[in-house]
């Protein structure tokens, strides 16, 4: 018998009280997550998921689990990996961090002649001379500014060489473990310590009007003076858009273009990756100087001097703040910026600037949040490698915990907004007529037989939810997998509704 004040309770009564307590607790948890039981059903018997490996995990930020399906299954995340890279960069560097690219010279200026060499010292800035970003000067404008500063210094002749110093990074520049077919294409551009123009260029083919006829190269933009291109591309009447890929041996001066382009009356353009962005930068700067009547006697070369203590700085160029770079990286899922940031994380934290060391820094960041990294086994910062492995539980835990950081709002707002036609992200056309429109912030991921989503949404009562869903090795349609993910996010946003949800039109 148990004494409770003056009341004595027998075993049956004690069991009833315990049962009642658990019933109250269960009812409270269910009340907080009305409709949670139906969410897992969106993954049931979906043709797109037949024989696929998939995982889904969602929980209230700071609260209880909502959905847990194979949460620790090891899967390839594709571009969802960018969430880890950008969060670690914001944590280790800060949202207002900027890169400073510097131009030095040695020797002395006599009359209007520089008796020495010029050095462009890369700082790891991935946005230098980017044609994609409206908030940075593109390469021609940037060079015009730099040449102008040489003229202001009274220099109209350079006796020495133009050196490009990209030594802030080390190791293989190409995305590690990416497929050989990807090497040479703009989406797998090398992450150089002295990046320029997003490390890519355009190849223009002459119009092809006959099926199977060879496609001749008209030009490149900008001019790639030290690169030999071989076209094995043909025109095909059955194509509506180009199906080509560029291939080069790393550090070589030759590239081959394979595949096909559609028949057209106009030139066809494709984008390709620079084999050596730093070498291109040295050569482009030399040509820019000479076009503006500043003679350069030497040649463009790669070199990292032992010290800059004996050199004079002529130009200092600052990048946009890291928060803007992170926003573009996540909203546009730009591989180069993510793969550069993984090296930057190392280079600016007493490391060598290699991808491997950057990955270790990301792991240390996750461990500092109290997250078990046993299932975090990655090789790059972008998710381009099919060998990358994470799980949904790690992803959601990271998403949940970074919101409490000073940069939490910056990180949240860097993600694509579901259903928002004014957002540049990949989700702008999805979930437009659901309760998740304008409420879900979603990073997507896509590789061959990989589709993934992760991010945040809110339920009908305004409670924040962190979620992740990854599908690997599906045999159905890609669109079918996307529909499953959209249903998952939509159901999370419907939690708390007491009636059938009314579709929310974009902009309403």
pLDDT of res. 174: 74
Beta bridge partners of 32: none
pLDDT of res. 176: 66
State the 10-residue block means of pLDDT for the chain, 508 residues long.
Answer: 39 41 34 64 94 97 97 98 98 98 97 97 98 95 98 97 97 75 85 97 96 96 92 93 82 85 95 94 98 97 96 98 98 97 97 96 98 97 95 98 98 97 89 96 96 97 97 94 97 81 45
pLDDT of res. 506: 43
CA 48 – CA 46 distance, rounded (Å)? 5
Q: Are 115 and 418 in contact (CB under 8 A)?
A: no
Instruction: Assign 3-class secondary structure to 420-489.
Output: CCCCCCCCCCCCCCCCCCCCCEEEEEEECCEEEEEEEEECCCCCEEEEEEEEECCCCCHHHHHHHHHHHH
CATH of the domain spanning 36-95+322-494: 3.40.710.10
pLDDT of res. 350: 93
Domain ranges of the chain: 36-95+322-494, 100-318
Pick the CATH number of 100-318 from 2.60.40.10, 3.50.80.20, 1.10.10.10, 3.60.110.10: 3.50.80.20
pLDDT of res. 497: 77
Burial of 4 (0-12, 13-18, 19+ CB in 10 A): exposed
Of the candidates 261, 245, 259, 246, the one whose C-alpha atom is nearest the C-alpha of residue 210 is 261
Beta bridge partners of 217: 205
User: Apex CA 421: angle with CA 416 and CA 422, to 5°?
Assistant: 75
pLDDT of res. 22: 35
């Amino acid at each position: 018998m148990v004494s409770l004040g003056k009341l004595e309770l027998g075993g049956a009564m004690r069991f009833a009280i315990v049962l009642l307590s658990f019933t109250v607790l269960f009812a409270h948890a269910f009340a907080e997550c009305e409709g949670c039981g139906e969410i897992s059903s969106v993954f049931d018997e979906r043709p797109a998921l037949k024989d696929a490996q998939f995982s889904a995990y969602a929980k209230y930020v700071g609260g209880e689990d909502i959905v847990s399906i194979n949460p620790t299954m090891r899967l390839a995340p594709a571009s969802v990996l960018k969430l880890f890279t950008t969060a670690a960069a914001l944590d280790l560097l800060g949202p207002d961090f900027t890169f400073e690219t510097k131009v030095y010279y040695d020797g002395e200026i006599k009359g209007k002649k520089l008796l020495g060499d010029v050095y462009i010292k890369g700082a790891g800035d991935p946005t230098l001379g980017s044609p994609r970003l409206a908030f940075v000067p593109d390469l021609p404008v940037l060079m015009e500014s730099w040449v102008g500063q040489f003229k202001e210094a009274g220099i109209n002749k350079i006796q020495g060489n133009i050196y490009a110093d990209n030594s802030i990074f080390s190791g293989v520049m190409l995305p590690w473990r990416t497929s050989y077919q990807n090497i040479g294409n703009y989406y797998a551009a090398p992450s150089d310590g002295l990046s320029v123009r997003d490390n890519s260029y355009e190849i223009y083919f002459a119009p092809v009007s006959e099926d199977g006829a060879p496609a001749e190269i008209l030009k490149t933009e900008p001019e790639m003076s030290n690169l030999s291109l071989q076209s094995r591309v043909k025109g095909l009447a059955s194509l509506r858009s180009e199906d080509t890929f560029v291939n080069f041996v790393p550090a070589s001066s030759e590239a081959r273009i394979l595949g096909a382009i559609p028949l057209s009356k106009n030139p066809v353009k494709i984008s390709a990756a620079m084999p050596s962005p730093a070498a291109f930068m040295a050569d482009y700067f030399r040509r820019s100087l000479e076009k503006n009547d500043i003679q350069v006697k030497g040649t463009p070369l790669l070199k990292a001097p032992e010290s800059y203590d004996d050199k004079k700085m002529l130009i200092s160029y600052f990048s946009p703040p890291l928060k803007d770079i992170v926003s573009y990286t996540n909203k546009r899922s730009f591989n180069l910026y993510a793969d550069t940031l993984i090296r930057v994380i190392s280079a600016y934290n007493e490391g060598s600037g290699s991808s491997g060391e950057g990955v270790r820094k990301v792991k240390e960041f996750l461990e500092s949040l109290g997250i078990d990294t046993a299932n975090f086994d990655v090789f790059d910062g972008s998710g381009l490698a099919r060998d990358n492995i994470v799980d949904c539980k790690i992803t959601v835990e990271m998403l949940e915990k970074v919101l409490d950081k000073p940069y939490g709002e910056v990180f949240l707002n860097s993600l694509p907004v579901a259903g928002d036609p004014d957002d540049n992200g990949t989700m702008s056309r999805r979930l437009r007529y659901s309760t998740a429109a304008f409420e879900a912030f979603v990073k997507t991921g896509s590789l061959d037989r990989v589709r993934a989503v992760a991010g945040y949404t809110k339920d009908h009562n305004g409670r924040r939810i962190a979620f992740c869903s990854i599908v690997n090795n599906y045999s159905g349609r890609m669109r079918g997998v996307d529909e499953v993910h959209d249903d998952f996010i939509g159901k999370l946003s419907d939690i708390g509704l007491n009636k059938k949800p009314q579709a929310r039109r974009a902009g309403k």
